[in-house]
A and B are shown apart, each in its own frame.
Chain A
């Protein structure tokens, strides 16, 4: 057995073109079971396209994707896969309750024309509790905030009790407290032994969870190895020059621009506004 067969998900020499324009070129990547990997890179570097190719939403023009050792074309055990698409909202044209959206994630394990079994209900409720929205299950998703809707989408993926998660920018446009809840949720998944492929522009509170970082630039893998800090991903040799500045990097010891001043204005670390 090669490492490609052992991997939870693997892509070899994968290329994707959108409208004739190459977006991914010769990607080789294998994710071992239980790994938490972060796909990083600037906008337009192809990280979302890579995830979409891995779950079969984008056809490959060359190369091969294998899920749990099975080529994607023959793969049909979708209950092992949980996908959180990049979406601004979980709502559609008709009201839907949080419970109903999360229950849709259970379809991978339900047969046609059967009502929800007790196990289905337990899994849906468990998924809602993991993301901390069990008390809002009867509310319409459109009444939730953006961060809460993102958590609904994660709960939907959780409800199918998958082993391999693909999360496409779950923290985009989500405020810091909600990002923290997301981080706690993903930490729980990780402790349950799930394999996670996370697409993120910036990791923020998710940083401590990452085992391995993969940085894409112009559709190629330019870095694959130990986790990077957000700051390092934007080094000139990875992506476009570092054009924006961070005011503070939460959770990390970083020398601030404020010189050290004694009392009375000294404050505990982390509140240095």
Chain B
């Protein structure tokens, strides 16, 4: 069996992997765009494009809200996202065991 096949192409980007890691440990909590930006040390545009890829794959949910007049966009992980991320981790693990 070749374990590489189970690796999720979408998580090959370090930023998308980072977003999923943050949302994974903050289940049931909304994480704001600014928190993500600060944690991952990326630019607005870069983060936004990766977030939309994850959203298109239904791995994350987007909630648009307001704090006063400022928009406050927050993100949370979906069941599908959780499953995909766990699958990716399992594949990484299998991969490392396979190579040993």
Task: Say if A and B assemble together.
Answer: no
Q: A: which residues have CB within 8 A of B? A: none
